[in-house]
Amino acid sequence: CKAESLDLSFNLLETTVEYLQHLHFLQNLNLSNNRLQDVADFYQRVGNIRSLDLSYNEIISTEGLSRLYSLITLNLNNNKLDSVKSIESLGSLPCLENLLLKNNPLTRIVDYRIRVFAVFRDRAKDVRKYISSF
């Protein structure tokens, strides 16, 4: 299938869908407003994705997203990310420019933006946008 965009929002999904791995041309995926908690095997399903909306889920760690090397935009608003450590794996994403973290517990940490930028080390100047809890 040559689908480039797919919207699976509001489906009460608790796991990623296996057939996603057959969508080799998929670039934009919306999985918002589901019940996803674990994204550990995500890279095996959507390895070439460029834009991923995981907002309004129950995600506590981004570990499975660290191999999505083509990812440019990642929306993690309204999840359960409670520490900078929970997003450290994103620092290895070479193309990531837009990271949305609004309404996660980690946004209540004093100076959380500075700590998030530190995750990206030398690439921090290339990462354009961090959305705060404001």
The 10s digit of each residue's pLDDT in 59-109 is 999 998 999 999 999 999 999 999 999 999 999 999 998 999 999 999 999
Please determine, for residue 132, whether its predicted confidence score (pLDDT) is greater than 60. no
pLDDT of the residue at 128: 52
pLDDT at 115: 85
Instruction: Check residues 9 and 128 and name the one with the higher pLDDT.
Output: 9
Nearest-CA neighbor of 59 among 96, 32, 98? Answer: 32
Specify whether the CB–CB gap between 71 and 46 falls below 8 A: no
Domain boundary assignment for the chain:
5-131
Question: Would you state the structure tokens that stand for residue 98, as one six-digit string?
Answer: 């837009």
Cα 80 from Cα 85, distance rounded (Å) = 13
The superfamily CATH assigns to domain 5-131 is Ribonuclease Inhibitor (3.80.10.10)
Rounded to an integer, the average pLDDT of 125-129 is 57
pLDDT score, position 35: 98
Angle CA(106)–CA(108)–CA(111) in degrees, nearest 5? Answer: 90
The whole-number pLDDT of residue 27 equals: 97
Query: pLDDT (tens digit, 9 = 90+) per residue, 24-59?
Result: 899 999 999 999 999 988 888 888 899 999 999 999
